[in-house]
Structure 1
Amino acid sequence: MAIRQKTVMTIKLAGRGTSHSRSEAHVRDLVQVVDEPIERGGTNEGLAPTETAFSALIGCTNVIGHKCAAKLGVDIGDLDFAMEVDFDRRGVLLMEEVEVPFKAIRLSVTSKGSATAEELQRVAEETAKYCPIAKLYENSGTELTVTWESG
């Protein structure tokens, strides 16, 4: 009998703030520390909340990219990422509410595999369809540009 995967599920997390800048998110048997850098009053024990959100896009692009490549039979090998984010900080500085704080994200993905430019383009198109973190940013109004190239 085949196992049927759930299409909708509830994911549960717990967390606690251990100082004015440091928090812990508990997921499964893991703890993710989120903290501010020392120059912003933190202890630099983890990524800042915004950096955590940005790194989630890299992680999601990696996972979904590899799933799509496997489904398409394309060798993308290991991936390298470079990202730039245009961040309107007026909100976190408590100057005024900002509806779209991350104005633009430019993510460059470099494939170390043997995929051709055409194959990489197909993987990129499929990844854009299915990466939930990319969808989150795009649907919030962030101008998201993801480019794939061979390295």
Structure 2
Amino acid sequence: MALRMKTEVTLRATAECPSHSRADIVVRDLSFAIDEPTERGGTNAGPTPTDTALAALIGCTNVIGHKCAERLGVDIGHLEISAKCTFDRRGVTLEEEIGVPFRHIELNVISHGSAQAEALQLVAAEVRKFCPLSKLFTAAGTEIVEDWQPAG
């Protein structure tokens, strides 16, 4: 009898917050810091919360991209992913409430597999359907422009 995976799980994270800017996060058996740079009163022990959100999109694109590529039979090899975000800081500076702080994200994905541009577009379309971080950003009103290209 095959085991069925749960369709819904509970994710957990905890943190000790030794200062106004630093949070020492624990997820499963992993720990890391989220912090502000020194020029904003932090200790620069880790990425900022907003940097962490952008990095999470990159990580999710990688994981879901490989799952989608495998399902489609597309060889994407390893990926190089970069993200550039237009971020409205008026909210974090408490100047005013901002409806869409992450306004625009450019996500560039370079595939080092044998897949050509057309196959990569199929993978990209599937990633948009299934990547929870992509869905979170787009549901919040962020425009994400993706460019998936073969290396070279």
Is TM > 0.5 for Structure 1 vs Structure 2? yes
Match of 1:136 in 2: 136
Which AA in structure 2 matches 1:95? E
Match of 2:19 in 1: 19
Match of 1:127 in 2: 127
SS at match of 2:2: coil
Give the alignment's TM-score, normalised by structure 1.
0.97
CA shift for structure 1 position 32: 2.1
Instruction: Provide structure 1 residue ranges, at least 5 long, that are not aligned to the other structure.
Output: none
1:10 aligns with 2:10: yes
CA distance in 1, matches of 2:146, 2:7: 27
CA shift for structure 1 position 145: 1.0
CA distance in 2, matches of 1:88, 1:21: 19
Match of 1:56 in 2: 56
CA distance in 2, matches of 1:89, 1:12: 28
CA distance in 1, matches of 2:87, 2:14: 27
Which AA in structure 1 matches 2:30? L
Give the alignment's TM-score, normalised by structure 2.
0.97
Moved segments of 4+, more than 4 Å: none
- Give the count of matched residue pairs: 151
Identity of aligned residues (%): 56
Please give the residue correspondences for 1:2-151 in structure 2 after superposition, counting only pairs within 5 Å: 2-151=2-151
